[in-house]
A and B are shown apart, each in its own frame.
Chain A
């Protein structure tokens, strides 16, 4: 039987894959995609938590649902934010490419101390 832990473990693995991508890659586009991977993992954890919220028992559980709605709105808003992030991030990458003819982040070191 699939439990909340399975989803959380999968979410953690996907998230850390995203972290690994951000740490190890130099291509700004791949880094952007790794960030998307992390956001996706976070969404998976949130949906799993919504679905398998700790059981409160009949009436308490119903009262919880009445109070909080079904929580999907939260994930919906995260999807909105990440879509906005991709749009602006890609614009920045295009700008970087115009200035430096590359998307390698090692080349983009203008602000390096």
Chain B
């Protein structure tokens, strides 16, 4: 039962790193915990035979997005900011109520008659989830959404640059500041 063991290792790691994200006092530790969660999730994706997504998660998230976040944390130099405030019981109360409420909601669905006790995968085809099969879908059937994603990323890049650009001092030219 190596697969079961692997699942539990990844699940427990993902959980504790997830807790680390929200309780760490230093945002840098939050970021590192988030990387841990992503790596654990990538492990679960591998277990689910979604190899392409697992590697994308590692490359795009821990390789690019988290580097961006860590870069911003270093740039803003936030050492003494925001200790976790346990003295805001209202916020923690609402959050914990949501936490246990949602967990309970999921627990209700353990009823086998609902049909989620599935252990048999949809397909045994080893090519399922490989980069080849995903790429075939992406570049034929879902070509338009793929291109739209490229447009979205371009728009996001432009938006980020415009937002983060240093505001120019007031000039006489143009209505735009």
Q: How many angstroms from the CA of A67 to the CA of B82 in the assembled complex?
A: 50
Q: How many angstroms from the CA of A49 to the CA of B24 in the assembled complex?
A: 32
**A13, B103: Cβ atoms closer than 8 Å:** yes
**B81, A27: Cβ atoms closer than 8 Å:** yes
Within 8 A of B (CB), among A16-53: 16-27, 29-30, 32-34, 36-37, 40, 43-44, 47-48, 50-53
With beta carbons under 8 angstroms apart, the residue of A4, A33, A37, A65 that contacts B123 is: A65
**A14, B142: Cβ atoms closer than 8 Å:** no
**B41, A43: Cβ atoms closer than 8 Å:** yes
Given A3-B117, A23-B91, A33-B21, are A80 and B149 also a contact pair (CB < 8 Å)?
Answer: yes
Given A52-B119, A87-B160, are A70 and B134 also a contact pair (CB < 8 Å)?
Answer: yes
Nearest-neighbour CB distance to chain A for B113, whole angstroms, equals 13
Given A1-B4, A5-B117, are A51 and B122 also a contact pair (CB < 8 Å)?
Answer: yes
With beta carbons under 8 angstroms apart, the residue of A8, A48, A55, A92 that contacts B120 is: A55
With beta carbons under 8 angstroms apart, the residue of A5, A6, A32 that contacts B11 is: A6
Q: How many angstroms from the CA of A40 to the CA of B54 in the assembled complex?
A: 12
**B99, A16: Cβ atoms closer than 8 Å:** yes
Nearest-neighbour CB distance to chain B for A46, whole angstroms, equals 10
* Tally of A-B Cβ pairs under 8 angstroms: 256
**B64, A83: Cβ atoms closer than 8 Å:** yes
Chain B residues with CB under 8 A of A82: 65
Q: What DSSP secondary structure best describes chain B's contact surface?
A: helix
**Chain B interface residue number, banded:** 35 or more
Q: How many angstroms from the CA of A22 to the CA of B142 in the assembled complex?
A: 33
**A61, B48: Cβ atoms closer than 8 Å:** no
**B27, A29: Cβ atoms closer than 8 Å:** yes
Chain B residues with CB under 8 A of A86: 65, 68-69
Nearest-neighbour CB distance to chain A for B99, whole angstroms, equals 4
A108 interfacial by beta-carbon distance below 8 Å: no
Within 8 A of B (CB), among A66-112: 69-70, 72-73, 75-77, 79-88, 90-95, 97-98, 102-104
Chain A residues with CB under 8 A of B157: 87
Q: How many angstroms from the CA of A91 to the CA of B4 in the assembled complex?
A: 41
Chain B residues with CB under 8 A of A33: 21, 27, 30-31, 34, 69
Query: Which residue on A lies nearest to B104, using beta carbons?
Result: A12
Nearest-neighbour CB distance to chain B for A14, whole angstroms, equals 5
Chain A interface (Cβ < 8 Å from any Cβ of B): 1-10, 12-27, 29-30, 32-34, 36-37, 40, 43-44, 47-48, 50-55, 61-62, 64-65, 69-70, 72-73, 75-77, 79-88, 90-95, 97-98, 102-104
A-B pairs with beta carbons under 8 Å apart, 7 shown: A4-B119, A16-B102, A40-B38, A79-B56, A87-B159, A90-B69, A91-B164
